[in-house]
Chains A and B, each alone.
Chain A
Amino acid sequence: MNSSVSEASLELDYRELDRIIEEDYQNDKENLIMILQAIQKTYNYVPKPALAYLAVKIGVPVSQIYGVATFYSTFSLEPRGRNIISICLGTACHVRGGDRIRETLEDQLQVHDGQTTSDNRFTLESVRCIGCCSLGPVIKVNEEMHGRLKPDEIKTILSRYE
C-alpha cells in the first residue's frame, strides 16, 4: 500500500478521541461501531493505535475491537486516498453493466478493489448497493453520486477530483 502518511509518524489527537468516546458516545461499548465510524471520519481510516486506546477507554479487549473493525466492510485499517470512489455492485447496477464500469475504473486508476493509487488521489472501494438502483450503474465519489454511467464518461468524472 502506497501512502504518504506512515503509521509511526501519525500523531493521534487524543483530546479529539476523548471527545468522540466520552462526549458523543458516553464510553458505551454498545456504541463501538459508531465510535469507530467517527474515528474513521476524523482520520479517513482507523489508525491502529486508536484501537488500543479505545480498548482501555471502553473496557473491551483490543482483540475484540480488532475483530469488529475487520468484520465490517466500512472500516479501513490502512490510510486511504484523498477521494474515495465507491462503485456500486448491486444487482441493478450489475445487470446494467456495472462490471464494465469497474473494469474501466481499475484500468484507468491501475488499482483493484480496496486499493489506493500511488499518488494518494483515489481509493477504489466496491459497495453492495447504494440504493440508487434506478440510476444504475452508479458510482459515488466522496459524497457525490454519478448515475446512468457509461464507461467512456469515467475519465471526465475523475478529472474533477484532485
Chain B
Amino acid sequence: MKITSIKDLDAIRQACFSRLYAPDGVKVNVGMASCGIAAGAKASYDRALQEFSSKTGISISQTGCIGFCEMEPLVEIVAQGKPRMMYHHLTEDKIVEAINGYLAKDYNKKWILGQMRDPLSLLEDDIANPQAKVQPVEGFPFLEDIPFYAKQTKIALRNCGYMDPDSITEYIARKGYYAFMQTLTMVPADIIKTVKTSGLRGRGGGGFPTGIKWETCAKHSGDRYIICNADEGDPGAYMDRSILEGDPHSVLEGMLIAALAIGSKQGFIYVRNEYPLAVKRLITAIKEAEKAGLLGDNIAGTPFSFHIKISRGAGAFVCGESTALMSSLEGNVGRPRAKYVHTVEKGFRDGPSNLNNVETYANVPPIILKGGAWYASMGTANSKGTKVFSLVGKVINTGLVEVPMGINLKDIVFGIGGGVPRKKEFKAVQTGGPSGGCIPARMMDLPVDYQKLAEVGSIMGSGGMIVMDRDTCMVDLARYFLDFLKEESCGQCNPCREGIKQMLEILTNICQGNGKDGDIELLEELGVMIQRFSLCGLGTSAPNPVLTTILYFRNEYESHIRDKKCPAGVCKPLFHYEIDPETCTGCRSCAKKCPQEAITGDKKKPHSLDQSKCIKCGICYDTCKFDAIVIR
C-alpha cells in the first residue's frame, strides 16, 4: 500500500498497536544487534523458535539493541495484561525455561533485569501507556529505575530495542514518518528554522550546527546531495551501528526531511564495511520505504522525489572526514582536500552536499514533531538536547547511554556505569576517539558538552567514552592512538605523515625503556606543529591523545623515562610480576593457568614465580582473586 497521508499512517498505527504493546498471546523479543548476536542472541532466538514455533499463542520476534550491552543476550517477554519482563544473559540454555516460567507466572529473579513501566517512545504522547493498568509484579525493579537507565533520556535511541528493525509497520506504529509527512506540508525555510531553533549540532565529531549547514547548502544551486556519514570509524564508538541495526527508518526519515528542506533528489549512506548487519537492515528498510511510497519518485503522491543509495566503505578511518568521504563515494581514493570551498557548496560530484552522521539524522524527526524549542530545553547553553555515549572499557555496566548534555562525567561513569570492575582504582576517561583526549579522575565533575570537553583538551567526537583504571598505561595508550593514526594517515600532507611517525617513534622508545630527557618536550613541540599545519581534521587533532596525557599524567611519562618503570604494568621491558607472599593463599589458580609453568609452590603455601621463565602474559595477574600478583 502506498502511504499518502497522516490518515494512512494512523490506520497502520492502530492496526499494529496490539502487536507491539498488547499481543494476544505471548511475544518474545530477542535483542538481535551485532553485539547481542555475538553474545549468543541468535542461538537463543533459534532455540526459542525450535521449541515454540509449532505452538499457538507464542511468537518469537527480533528487536535492536536496548543499550545495556553488558547484559546481553537481552530478551523481553510480554503478553497483554501482564508485566513486560526484560531478561538478561538469556543464552540458549535458559530461554525455554524462561519462557515457560513466564507462562506459569513463575518469574526467575536471577534472570530478570527489570519490568518495563512504559514501553512507549517519547513521540507517542497521544496514546495511553498500555502498561499503566497492568499490575506490576512485586520484588522486581522497574527497568526505568535501575541505575543504568534512570538518568537516560532516549531521543536518538527512542526505538532501539523496542521494535523490529525490519518492520516499517512497527516503525510507523511508534510514530515514524509522521514528522516527514508533516514536513511535506511545510515550506523548506520553516523546516530549517525548526532545526536551527533546536540547536542540534553534528553528532559525528565536528559539532557544526545542523540547521546552519542545511541553510547554507540550500543556498547553493546545482544538483544537491544528502549524504549520511555511517563510517563510524572512532574505535570505541558504536552508537551509529546500533541505530542502523535497531532503527534504520529513523535515519531514512531524517534524510528525507533534510532532502525536503534543502531540495535534493538523491541521497547516499556511506556505511562501514565492518558493519554487515547494518547494511542488511538498511537495504531492507529502503526496500520497505520504497514499497510504501515513502522513497522513490512522487513520494506520498507529491512532486517530491528522493532516492537513497547505500555505498560501502572499505576500511579507511580518514573517510570519516567530509571531503575524503565524498571522494570515496565517487569511487576514488579517500584523500581529503583543503576546504577553501566547503562541501555544502562543492562536494560530491562538485554539487552542494549536506553531510550529517547517523545520530544527527535520527534526532531530526522528534525535533520536527515536538518542536525546536522542546529539544533546546534540554542541555546547556551551547550544547542542546541529548548525546549518545558508548560507555566501554574498564567499567561495570558497558553499553550505550543517551543522556542530556551537561550531565557530569561522574554521573555517567559511576552513576550509570557503576564504576570500575573489581573495585580497582579509576584513572581516566578517554573521549572523542583518536582525535580526543584523556580526562583524569580528578576532573570527574566536568559537565559534558562540546565546549567543556574542548576546554580540557578533549573533544565530544562521536561519543566514545573509554573508561580506564590503574592497569591502563597512559604512555602506552598515547602510543596506541598514534600507531592507529600512523596507519590511517592518508599520507598527503607532510606534518601528519612525517610528524605522527616521529612522535610514534619517540613514544615507542619510551615504552621500550629507551626514553631520554627532553623527549616529553620534543613530543609537545611536534604535537603543536602537527596541530597547526596539517591539512585535515585527522592531522590537526592527532596529537590530542599525546598532549592530554602529558598534561595530566606527566609523572607516568617521567617514570618511564627516568626510572625505567611502567607503573601500570603494560610496557613489558619496564616491569615484572612478583608474588606477594603475604597475600598469596596458595590456591594454585595462577599456577594451573601459567603457560610457561613459571609458577610453583605447594597448595595453601605462598607460591613463587621464576622470572627467567615468565613471559609477562598477565594471565596470573588476571586470574588472582587476592591481588597477590603485584607489578614491580
Which residue of chain A has its CB nearest to the CB of B483? A89
User: In the complex, what residues of B have CB within 8 A of residue A127's CB?
Assistant: 274, 315
- When the two chains form their complex, are residues B314 and A91 in contact, meaning their CB atoms are under 8 A apart? no
**Cβ-defined contact, A33 with B35, below 8 A:** no
Give the distance in Å from the alpha carbon of A93 to the alpha carbon of B236 in the complex: 8
Closest CB in chain B relative to A69 CB, distance in Å: 9
Q: A79-138: which have CB < 8 Å to B?
A: 89-97, 100, 103-104, 127-136, 138
Which of A2-10, A13-21, A145-153 makes up part of the contact surface? A145-153
For residue B474, give the distance in angstroms from its CB to the closest CB of chain A.
Answer: 11
Q: Which one, B113-121, B256-264, B331-339, is touching chain A?
A: B331-339
In whole Å, how far is B409's beta carbon from the nearest beta carbon of chain A? 17
CA distance A93 to B477 in the complex (A): 12
Q: Which residues of chain B in 482-497 are interfacial with respect to chain A, using CB atoms and an 8 Å cutoff?
A: 484, 487-488, 490
Interfacial chain A residues near B250, Cβ < 8 Å: none
CB interface residues, B 603-618, toward A, < 8 Å: 617-618
Query: Are B617 and A73 in contact, CB atoms less than 8 angstroms apart?
Result: no
Instruction: Tell whether B4 is near chain A: CB-to-CB under 8 Å.
Output: no
Residue A39 CB within 8 A of the other chain: no
A147 near B331 (CB under 8 angstroms)? no
A143–B331 Cα distance when bound, in Å, is 26
A67 and B333 contacting across the interface, CB-CB below 8 Å: yes
Interface centre among B273, B313, B314, B464 (most CB of A within 10 A): B314
Is B34 close to A, CB under 8 A? yes
CB distance from B273 to the nearest CB of A (A): 5
Asked if B37 lies at the interface with its beta carbon under 8 angstroms from chain A, I say yes
A94 CB contacts on chain B under 8 angstroms: 235, 477, 480
Closest B residue to A92 using CB positions: B392
A37–B276 CA distance with the chains assembled, in angstroms:
12
**In the complex, A115→B573 CA distance in Å?**
26
A91-B430, A150-B622 known; 13 other A-B pairs, CB under 8 Å? A71-B334, A73-B487, A92-B393, A104-B617, A127-B274, A128-B484, A129-B234, A131-B238, A132-B34, A134-B392, A143-B276, A145-B37, A151-B595
Q: List 15 A-B contacts (CB under 8 A).
A: A28-B331, A29-B331, A30-B331, A71-B334, A73-B315, A75-B314, A89-B235, A92-B235, A92-B236, A92-B466, A100-B618, A129-B233, A129-B234, A131-B35, A134-B72
- Chain A residues near B (Cβ < 8 Å): 28-34, 36-37, 60, 64, 67-68, 71-75, 89-97, 100, 103-104, 127-136, 138, 143, 145-147, 150-152
Residue ranges of B at the interface with A (Cβ–Cβ < 8 Å): 34-35, 37-39, 69-70, 72, 232-238, 241, 272-276, 311-317, 328-334, 390, 392-394, 398-399, 430, 433, 464, 466, 468, 472, 477, 480-481, 484, 487-488, 490, 593, 595, 617-619, 622
